[in-house]
Amino acid sequence: MGERHICPIAWVAASSDLQRVVAETNGCMRRIRIGSGGTTSVVEMTDNPTLSTIERLELAADSGTGVTFVGASMAAEAGPVQVSWSEIHDDARAVGAALQARGLVPGDHVAILGPTSRELITIVRGCWMAGLASMVLPLPMRMGSLDVFIDSTRGRILHGDAKLLLIDELLADFYSPAEGDPPILPMKAVMPGATNVPTGDALEIPAHDPERLVILQYTSGSTSEPKGVMIPDRVLSANIDACAEAAELNSDDAMVSWLPLYHDMGLVGFLALPMTKGVDLVQAAPQDFLAHPGNWMQWLSDYRATATAGPNFSWVLATRALKRMKDLDLSHLTVALSGAEPVDPKAVDAFVAEASRFGFTAGGMFPAFGMAEVAIGGTFPPRRRGLVTDTVDRIVLETQRVAKPVEIHDEDELGLTARQLPLLGKPVPGLEMKVVDPETFEELPERHVGELLLRGTSVTPGYYKRPDATAALFHDGWLLTGDLAYVLDGELVLCGRIKDVIIVGGRNVFPEDIERAVGPLDGVRAGNVIAFGMEGYKGKESVVVVAEVRVSDTSGGLEEIRERIHHRTLEVCGLPPRDVMLVTPGTLPKTSSGKLQRAKCRDEYLNEELALIE
């Protein structure tokens, strides 16, 4: 952070005539004592990686900051509700004591199924205070897929050895107990004030164990083989410290989030970080953003937010909303993080153009890379730099796997002959990266495309009870990300996922290129296009494009839309698509965090299960 390079653990409200700040050890717990009198000031504490998550929560509870619940699903009838981290902490201690009273011991896992709420945040914190790993489970994406939701939820609960399932009353009817399930309780049953819930004083703080799991984060995948990323105490602490330092977060920051807490960006990046660092947080529910994306921009303005985050599609929705808004102040926003899915430079530029009317500066954009296997943060750009891109020859990239820089003067050519790729910054402190040949693991020079590997303090030890998947995740101590990337001036540039690359006519075509080229076509729902490869005649791979469409006055009929998609795909990859499938809006398969599922879409295509539009 500038010349001081300090990453605070907590900011402690103290008197101006501060007599002492004494760290005392009581068992394994450190408490902060502050002298009395005078007005309130702020004390910054330098980073101490030896502190446990529990100690960090204890310290941050005294920071004088807190969380404000906003939006129709979170706020009270009278409006937003502001709660100090101290009050959340006291309630969480009672939750932890209640879980211990039910026989749970440090190292046990607790599954939690509920929407974003004060209760959910308090229970997650209560689990961590009692030395229990939280398993926040995804909510159903669509009500029509309830059977799949129940099967996948049960698969995660059983695979994760959850000793208890806490469920929101609104969801209880959707999940019926079955043989083998752990005990099931309403979330309210462990909250302060409920029957037999002890006070927070009854909480027994466990001894510090850096290897004890704090989070068991299940990634999107098949229900038969769920993969739970293990995040032990040491990994969570290391990544939170690294992200805070790389993003230059300090006591003046205010974070706004609507991200789901079952996703790593929401749970770690925008809950665990402010909750353990004592940073002010404005918390909304995902549904309140999705129902009215302009809400997000309004919250940023109302609370003078300095940091927020969302996947690429959310910035597209925000841009549309801004066109209809007025009287906002976005001048304080200096970390507008875009992550979780590929960053589209056109989407970023469009947002900047609209947001600049309200004081936002282009330097506030913050394209970053992260993954659950490093808790959340992998590479961050410098704060206030904004989006920087590398424009490369697309044919050379696809045929030679070399990022050859080119200049494009005709915007219409961009996407057909070139790719504009964002620089995603350098590894956060404690991590290192390299790009290697996926076959030989030989490190490649800059601008040569290969697989991204990571190593360092934020890396998971592996997948829970999946020795096969864990073994496949590492090579000589390096984490294999499965991402194709190259390095430029020490910064990461992502090209796509190895498993998704379509080999057509000797070219490595990235499905994102086709999807982004097709998305803006009239009649196509932008962001709702999937391209994948299929083995065709004589073993040659061909392309299938599946697009959600909506006929309008300007789009023409379905055949006209299909012809436009066919022609655009031919322009992008040089060969005509094998099939163009037009499907009903809202039916493309997506993960719980909203990412398109190409492999599942391919299966639905092969099994003739796509919801074709008539």
pLDDT band, very low/low/confident/very high, at 301 (cuts 50, 70, 90): very high
Q: How do strand 502-504 and strand 280-283 relate by DSSP bridges?
A: unpaired
pLDDT at 303 over 80: yes
SS3 of 330, please?
coil
Q: Which residue has the higher pLDDT, 498 or 216?
A: 216
pLDDT at 390 over 80: yes
pLDDT at 11 over 70: no
- CA dist 158 and 493 (Å) reads 38
Q: Which residue has the higher pLDDT, 146 or 339?
A: 339
pLDDT band, very low/low/confident/very high, at 573 (cuts 50, 70, 90): confident
User: Where do we find the tokens 């061909």?
Assistant: 542
What pLDDT does 536 receive?
63
% of the chain surpassing 90 pLDDT: 66
SS3 of 202, please?
helix
What pLDDT does 502 receive?
84
What pLDDT does 507 receive?
79
Q: At what angle do helices 511-518 and 558-573 cross, to 10 degrees?
A: 140
Contact indicator for 230, 161 with CB cutoff of 8 Å: no
SS3 of 374, please?
helix
pLDDT at 443 over 70: yes
pLDDT band, very low/low/confident/very high, at 144 (cuts 50, 70, 90): low
pLDDT at 210 over 70: yes
Q: Which residues of 220-236 are buried (b: 16+ CB within 10 A; e: fewer)?
A: bbeeeebbbbbbbbbbb
Contact indicator for 12, 34 with CB cutoff of 8 Å: yes
Q: Which residues of 192-212 are buried (b: 16+ CB within 10 A; e: fewer)?
A: beeeebeebeebebbebeeeb
* Structural tokens at position 484: 């194709």
- Give per-residue pLDDT as tens, 523-544: 998 889 999 988 765 556 789 9
- CA dist 179 and 181 (Å) reads 6
pLDDT band, very low/low/confident/very high, at 89 (cuts 50, 70, 90): very high
- Give per-residue pLDDT as tens, 371-389: 999 999 999 999 999 999 9
Main-chain phi, psi angles of 217, to 5 degrees: -100, 110
- CA dist 48 and 267 (Å) reads 22
Q: Which residue has the higher pLDDT, 204 or 31?
A: 204
* Structural tokens at position 380: 């961050």
% of the chain surpassing 70 pLDDT: 89
How much is the average pLDDT of 406-428?
Answer: 85
pTM of the entire predicted model = 0.85
- CA dist 524 and 164 (Å) reads 44
pLDDT at 235 over 70: yes
pLDDT at 34 over 70: no
What pLDDT does 30 receive?
34
pLDDT band, very low/low/confident/very high, at 190 (cuts 50, 70, 90): very high
How much is the average pLDDT of 214-238?
Answer: 84
- Give per-residue pLDDT as tens, 582-599: 999 989 988 766 778 888
pLDDT band, very low/low/confident/very high, at 233 (cuts 50, 70, 90): very high
Domains and CATH numbers, the chain: 84-229 (3.40.50.980), 389-454+464-499 (2.30.38.10), 509-606 (3.30.300.30)
Question: How far is the CA of 249 from the CAs of 5, 56, 374, 385, in angstroms?
Answer: 11, 16, 19, 15
- Which range has the worst mean pLDDT, 150-159, 264-273, 318-327, 404-413? 404-413
Q: Is 331 left (phi over 0), alpha (psi -120 to 50) or beta?
A: alpha
- Which range has the worst mean pLDDT, 37-46, 89-98, 550-559? 37-46
User: Where do we find the tokens 């211990």?
Assistant: 100
